[in-house]
Amino acid sequence: MKSLRALIAAGAVVTAFAAAQNPVSPKCKVDLAFNRYYDYGEIVATMKKIADAHPGLVTLESIGKSWEGRDLWVAVVASRQGTPLERRPAMWIDANVHGNEVQGSEVCLYTLWYLTENYPRNEKVRELLDRAVLYVLPSQNPDGRDWWFHGPNTPNSSRSGKAPIDDDRDGVADEDPPNDLDGDGSITSMRKKVEKGGTHVPDPDDPRLLRPARPDQVGTYVVLGLEGIDDDGDGQINEDGPGGYDMNRNWPSDWQPNYIQGGAGAYPLSHPECRAIADFILAHGNIAALQSFHNAGGMILRGPGAQSFGDYPGDDVEVYDRIGRTGEEMIPFYRYLVIWKDLYTVRGGFVTWGYEGLGIFSLTNELWTTPQYTGKPDGQTDLARLKWDDRVELGEKFVEWKPFRHPLFGDVEIGGWKKDTNRVPPTFMLEELCHRNMAFTLYHASEMPKLEWDPPEVAEVSPGLWRVRVEIRNARTIPTRSAIAIQKKIGTPDRLSILPKGCKVLSGGRRVGPFGREKVEHVEHHPERLLLEGGVRGHASVRAEWLLSCPAGRPEFGLRFEADKGGLLER
């Protein structure tokens, strides 16, 4: 009887244990839903929850404040054992520089959540967080984000931050924004049915849509633009809304003033958000990879941002291509593209600064593209989208036209797409977007340099004279120094040092040349500390050799290899 009870109790324990360790759906320390979007306050609260639950993996650091005073919280993700974080290769991940391009922040949250929950379980996650560090800033533009969530907007508005700009150059800033006339939280469109002077007719397939009247048709509608009135009485409507700049044109490389590059800002890094981020990145020379999430269009973008730059060095293009094409395979309907060639010219962009100014392999994923919705490459017309909205989202995203008495136009109709459509996925598809883009970003991170070496070869070449040879290998695709960093002399060259005890370093240098016939490039000054401008290429190695005078016999020495973006080896 007793033993039966013991057996039952033991069984209960086993069952309970099995429940806690359900191998198919392990219990999470932090439960988080990815079928919804998070405003700034919720993002910060979620980051804190994750950091509190995983103190050994995540710390939070406010790197500055936005124009309206919101903290820019960066999550520093890495295991805290082993090499100090600042000596590890690092990846910078951010999102939402354009306030309306929101879902990248959810990708960042998902990444934090996934990495922390899976660190104990997944070997690849563990390998990455043990050897590297991720700096994750879910929103570059928290003011724009919060305004998009809580203010009346369209899918495209609130791209800017909130510092007032006098868009219409009349001496007053932000005095004629769009107005949420029907009070539904979205800025939709205005149209007016007219007897005469119409330019549009209802689409025969769906009268909620208008299309231009044919030459043989009489127009029955005029299109009046976005919901709004002429607040400042200058005869124009909605021409001076909140903000009015583009923080993704405010970075130093190929920055050009507003009249050349719209939205550029007063000077590079003039916005407090950009300044804070640049200060952080400049202070972290270990950042070797960078991803900055935007929406939309399903793209994996690299520079150049302008044709005038010319081409990126071939060696770097090969690395980029390897990463970008892998991304195309990992995320259906995404295309790997070059910004100026395939999208448009961007001067003073963030990822172009990352690569062209700092030598970091930098990418922007433009998240979400309608074919993901339909599962087919076509279907991006408004008509098709309306059908999908009616059927799959139960009509949630389209505001039916309703009459409104406008102070200037008289009787009009207001209606159209809500702000959380077109550029952001329907929430039921958000989690997939988050996971695939995170997986691609972790792949990008995993290709950051991983340095390895074997014990050095030590040989006595004549009495008291010893030769030491060492080889440093990079086991991943990204080099310790990009070709552009070498070309433009960005950062500090890699350093290979020998620290002998009781011996004198007579000479030293890199071993170069064809296999089996290597020669030593002796350096004249400081042979004990070799500066390696060329770094270590991906899946390649550098070799070096020293001659030591060691009268006391076999030399004792330390070795150190330091690469700003490749980490530290010491023995």
Partner 1 sequence: LAQALRAVFASLALVAPLAAQVTPRDVDLTALTAAAETRKAAITVVEVMKSAAGAPVNAMLVGIAGQVPVAARPRLLVVAGLEPDHAGGILVAARLASDIVELAAGDEKLRAVLERCSVEIIPCLAVDGVAAAQASGLVQPARTDTRPVDDDRDGVADEDGAEDLNGDGVVTEMRVKDPLGEWRVSEDDPRLMVRADRAKGEVGSWRLEPEGVDDDGDGRINEDPKGGVDFDRNFPHGWKEFDRRTGTSPCSEVETRALVDHVLATRNVAAVLVLGHRDSLVETPPAMKAANPAPDGLETEDRPLFEAVSEKFRKRTGFERKSEDKPDGAFHQWAYFQQGLPAFAAKVFEPPKPPQPASLPSGKKAESDDAKRLVDSDTRLGGKGFVDWKPFQHPVLGAVEIGGFVPLADVNPTAERVPEISRAFAQFVFDLLEMLPRATLQDVSARPLGGGLHEITAVVRNEGRFPTVLRIGTRTRAVLPSRIVVDLPVEAFELGERRTLLEPLGAAGQGRKLRWIVRAGAGTTAPVRLWTEKAGEAAADVTFTEPK
String marking each residue 309-338 x if it binds partner 1 according to CB under 8 A:
------------------------------
Taking a C-beta distance cutoff of 8 angstroms, is the pair 526, 520 a contact? Answer: no
Q: Does 234 bind partner 1 (CB under 8 A)?
A: yes
Taking a C-beta distance cutoff of 8 angstroms, is the pair 368, 296 a contact? Answer: yes
Stretches 41-49, 255-263, 316-324, 413-421: which one binds partner 1 (CB under 8 A)? Answer: 255-263
Q: Does 269 bind partner 1 (CB under 8 A)?
A: yes
* Residues in 134-153 that interact with partner 1 by CB under 8 A: none
Rounded to whole angstroms, how far apart are CA atoms 538 and 84? 23
Q: Does 568 bind partner 1 (CB under 8 A)?
A: no
Stretches 73-81, 230-238, 293-301, 315-323: which one binds partner 1 (CB under 8 A)? Answer: 230-238
Among positions 499, 531, 540, 552, the unique one binding partner 1 when judged by CB under 8 A: 531
Among positions 27, 341, 489, 539, the unique one binding partner 1 when judged by CB under 8 A: 489
Shortest separation between residue 492's beta carbon and partner 1, angstroms: 5
Among positions 347, 423, 436, 476, the unique one binding partner 1 when judged by CB under 8 A: 347
* Residues in 159-218 that interact with partner 1 by CB under 8 A: 166, 169-171
Nearer to partner 1, 371 or 509 (CB): 509
Q: Interhelix angle for 103-118 vs 430-446, to 10°? A: 60
**What b/e string do you get for 236-261 counting C-beta neighbours within 10 Å, with b at 16 or more?**
ebbbbbbbbbbbbbbbbbbbeeeeeb
DSSP code for 480: S
Stretches 191-199, 386-394, 457-465, 524-532: which one binds partner 1 (CB under 8 A)? Answer: 524-532
Burial of 473 (0-12, 13-18, 19+ CB in 10 A): middle
Shortest separation between residue 494's beta carbon and partner 1, angstroms: 10
Shortest separation between residue 459's beta carbon and partner 1, angstroms: 28
Stretches 146-154, 458-466, 469-477, 483-491: which one binds partner 1 (CB under 8 A)? Answer: 483-491
CA angle, residues 176, 182, 183, in degrees to nearest 5: 85
Q: Does 259 bind partner 1 (CB under 8 A)?
A: yes
CA 37 from centroid of its chain's CA atoms? 18
Nearer to partner 1, 458 or 490 (CB): 490
Nearer to partner 1, 343 or 490 (CB): 490
Among positions 121, 225, 267, 376, the unique one binding partner 1 when judged by CB under 8 A: 267
Q: Which amino acid is at 72?
A: L
Rounded to whole angstroms, how far apart are CA atoms 312 and 304? 7
Nearer to partner 1, 218 or 531 (CB): 531
Q: Which residues pair with 200 in a beta bridge?
A: 212, 221
Stretches 100-108, 130-138, 254-262, 545-553: which one binds partner 1 (CB under 8 A)? Answer: 254-262
- In degrees and rounded to multiples of 5, residue 220 shows phi and psi of -115, -5
Among positions 156, 220, 258, 326, the unique one binding partner 1 when judged by CB under 8 A: 258
And the tokens for 505? Answer: 């370093």
Q: Does 567 bind partner 1 (CB under 8 A)?
A: no
Alpha helices in 63-153 (DSSP H): 103-118, 123-131, 142-150
Smallest CA-to-CA distance from 92 within 362, 272, 376 is with 362
Side-by-side strand order, sheet with 567-570: 529-532, 494-501, 556-563, 567-570
Q: Where are the beta strands (DSSP E) in 41-181?
A: 58-65, 71-77, 90-95, 133-137
Stretches 109-117, 257-265, 410-418, 553-561: which one binds partner 1 (CB under 8 A)? Answer: 257-265
Shortest separation between residue 342's beta carbon and partner 1, angstroms: 20
Helix (H) or strand (E) holding 46: helix 40-53
Residues that bind partner 1 (CB under 8 A): 166, 169-171, 233-235, 252-253, 255-261, 266-270, 278, 282, 308, 347, 357, 488-493, 495, 524-526, 531
